Amino acid sequence: MKIQRDPRRDAHEPHRFHQVAVVGKYSAAVSPSAVAASRAVLEDISAFLEKHHCEVVLEHDSAQATGMSDYPALSLATIGQQCDLVLVVGGDGTMLGVGRQLAQYGVPLIGINQGRLGFITDIPLASYRETLVPMLAGHYEEDHRSLMHAQVMRDGQCVFDALAMNDVVVNRGATSGMVELRVEVDGHFVSNQRADGLIIASPTGSTAYSLSAGGPLLHPSIPGWVLVPIAPHTLSNRPIVLADAAEIAIELVAGRDASANFDMQSLASLLHGDRIIVRRSQHHVRFLHPKGWSYFDTLRKKLHWNAGES
């Protein structure tokens, strides 16, 4: 019998996790050697969890991609409904996709970094064993991240609906010129901007595309978003921080082949007059970190601050 997670349990109460799901990084385009390496990692982590008295399940696509059949394979929706914890093995892109789908269930996530940067998959693969032992016993820091709920409206009808943890980005076409965008906040006109595009980033996404475009870093505890123009025609169009309780509307006024991207993982093609409406989602993603974890430690490590100091 599967152990059901009690939704009434205090999220901050230390406890031992019972049923733990493992999600891997997978792609249909990877080489056989990469698949074998991924399988070896997932088998090692699963065996470790069993040794620590956890009932292990695999996410269905991860099991299928690696050919693992020793553990039950469940969909993410079923994992969200019945598991106590989810271990995501991969990079931040993997975590973004999993986090969006599991946010509605309130299940906590731990990220084991098998990618590159690892802002939200912060446990190095090489040291996961010693890091997870106290966490599985209930000794961890909990970190909640907000989500954006975005809709593309066309002639009064919603033609695309998506969640985003990092950002919502309106981009010009690859071979076209600038786009012109009308920006409103809570129904108030802000400006018409001519630029290569516009980014609405959460605090989590402030270390991603927004940072590359000149936006500020936002601490995860700040209930805000940052609106960042991409290569604006008018240099006085600067990034602005907004309360995440606001509703932001972006209307495509002019420009060819424009699109809206959500965490750079889903895309909607835009027509003139389309409006992208962005609101705060009612759901949050729950991350667990090792005891003593600090957001500033992550920034210092990942952005190589003080790299020249001894």
Beta bridge partners of 158: 153
Quote the CA–CA distance of 219 and 206 in Å, as a whole number: 9
Beta bridge partners of 200: 168, 227
296: which residues sit within 8 A by CB, 6+ positions away?
none
First to last CA, the chain: 55
| Domain 148-282: CATH architecture, name and number where available | Sandwich (2.60)
Task: For residue 21, count other CB atoms closer than 10 A to its CB.
Answer: 31
Looking at residue 15, its pLDDT comes to 58
The superfamily in CATH containing domain 19-138 is Probable inorganic polyphosphate/atp-NAD kinase; domain 1 (3.40.50.10330)
Amino acid in position 181: L
Looking at residue 46, its pLDDT comes to 97
Instruction: Provide Rg for the chain, Cα atoms.
Output: 21
- 10-residue mean pLDDT profile of the chain (310 residues): values are 42 70 77 86 96 96 93 97 96 94 97 84 93 95 96 97 97 87 97 96 96 96 96 92 97 94 93 97 96 92 76
Quote the CA–CA distance of 150 and 162 in Å, as a whole number: 5
Catalytic residues: 92
For the chain, the domains span 19-138, 148-282
Tokens of 2: 């599967």
Structure-derived torsion over alpha carbons of residues 303, 307, 309, 310, reported in degrees to the nearest 10: 120
Is pTM beyond 0.85? Reply is yes
